[in-house]
């Protein structure tokens, strides 16, 4: 596995070592010892989630004000544009975002640390995401920031029409969001 740094140092893009042959391929999607060696992080992943969405679905920008979740995200089918937004007021990158294309073809994973909002847009006909979290889902603590907030200026793919849930369409403006210290 190889770590690719992003514009926000705490958000990491991981590229696994893939072993293809005529039968298909094999790769380790997670190895705790290797993770700790490469990242220096000792995360205790407590929950795995699987999401399937159709083209244009935009989920997010989600975060939890208590029990913040770190997320290790990968697309096991299809392709997404994945985004992490820094919500840590004490961070030099507060209010900045990083985006990456994750797909079943490139097998990349995005590490979204605690203290970040997370969202994604599906670029393929459907996409299946698997992601590990460092804290349990706590709906009473979940918050949503508008995906198209002008203060964030996220450069979402323009050739896909966003399809939003009611919750995501009613997200809070970034300037009014509950952020982390």
Task: Cite the active site residues.
Answer: 62, 131
Q: Is 25 exposed, middle or buried (0-12, 13-18, 19+ CB in 10 A)?
A: exposed
- Distance, in Å, from the CA atom of 102 to the CA atom of 88, rounded to the nearest integer, reads 24
């Amino acid at each position: 596995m190889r770590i690719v740094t992003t514009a926000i140092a705490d958000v990491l893009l991981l590229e696994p070592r893939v072993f293809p042959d005529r039968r298909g391929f094999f790769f380790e999607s997670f190895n705790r010892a290797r993770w700790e060696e490469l990242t220096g992080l000792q995360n205790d992943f407590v929950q795995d989630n699987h999401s399937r969405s159709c083209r244009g679905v935009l989920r997010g920008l989600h975060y939890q004000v208590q029990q913040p979740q770190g997320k290790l995200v990968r697309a096991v089918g299809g392709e997404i544009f994945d985004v992490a937004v820094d919500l840590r007021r004490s961070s030099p990158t507060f209010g900045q975002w990083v985006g990456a294309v994750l797909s079943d073809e490139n097998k990349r994973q995005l590490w979204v640390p605690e203290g970040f909002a997370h969202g994604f847009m599906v670029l393929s006909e459907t996409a299946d995401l698997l992601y590990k979290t460092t804290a349990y889902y706590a709906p009473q603590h979940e918050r949503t920031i508008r995906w198209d907030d002008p203060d964030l200026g996220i450069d979402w793919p323009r050739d896909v029409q966003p399809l939003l849930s009611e919750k995501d369409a009613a997200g809070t403006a970034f300037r009014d969001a509950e952020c982390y210290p």
